[in-house]
Chain A
Amino acid sequence: MSPLAATFRRDFALMWGAGGGAMAPLGFFLGAATLVPLAMGPEHALLVAAGPPLVWIAAALAVLATLERLFQADLEDGSLDQFLLSPAPLEMIVLTKGAALWCAIGLPIALAGAPVAIALQAPLELVPAIVMSLGLGMAGFIGVGLVGAAVTAGVKRGGVLISLIVLPFFAPPIIFGSAVAGGAGFGPAFLILAGCGLAYSALGPIAAAAALRLQVE
Chain B
Amino acid sequence: MLSVFANPARFMQLSGWAAPLFAVLALVLFAVGVPWALIYSPADYQQGETVRIMYVHVPAAWWSLAIYGFMGVASFVGVVWRHALADVAARAAAPIGATFAGLCLITGSLWGAPTWGTWWEWDGRLTSMLVLFIIYLGYIALWNAVEDEEKAARLAAILCLVGLINLPIVHFSVVWWSTLHQPASVFRPGGSAIDPAMMGPLFAMAFAYMALFGALLLTNMRAAINRRRVEAARMRGANAA
Contacts and interface: CB of A to CB of B under 8 A. Distances in A.
A190 to B, nearest CB: 13
Contacts of A172: 169-170, 173
Contacts of A139: none
Interface string B118-133: 0000000000000110
B83 interface: no
Given A171-B131, A171-B173, A203-B165, A161 B145 contact: yes
Interface in B99-141: 131-132, 134-135, 137-139, 141
B170 A151 contact: no
B24 interface: no
Contacts of A203: 165
Nearest to A207: B162
Interface stretch (B31-39, B151-159, B209-217, B221-229): B151-159
B146 A164 contact: no
A165 B138 contact: yes
A65 B173 CA distance: 25
Give the interface size bracket for B toward A.
20 to 34
A129 interface: no
A152 interface: yes
Contact of B141 (A161, A171, A196, A215): A161
A84 interface: no
Contacts of A161: 138, 141-142, 145
Interface in B167-184: 169-170, 173-174, 176-177, 180
B47 interface: no
Contacts of B165: 203
A175 B146 contact: no
Q: Name A's interface SS.
A: helix
Contact of B155 (A175, A192, A211): A211
B173 A154 contact: no
A155 B145 CA distance: 6
Interface string A141-171: 0000001000110110010010011011101
A1 interface: no
B7 interface: no
A210 B155 CA distance: 9
Nearest to A188: B176
A171 B174 contact: yes
A214 B137 CA distance: 22
Contacts of B180: 179
A171 B145 contact: no
Contact of A169 (B146, B155, B170, B176): B170
Given A164-B134, A217-B151, A147 B176 contact: no
Nearest to B133: A168
A196 B174 CA distance: 14
> Would you list the 5 A-B pairs with minimal beta carbon distance, nearest first?
A165-B138, A172-B173, A175-B177, A151-B155, A155-B145
17 contacts: A147-B159, A155-B146, A158-B145, A161-B138, A164-B134, A164-B137, A164-B138, A168-B134, A168-B166, A168-B170, A169-B170, A172-B173, A175-B173, A175-B176, A210-B158, A211-B154, A215-B151
Given A165-B141, A168-B166, 5 more contacts: A154-B151, A171-B173, A179-B180, A203-B165, A207-B158
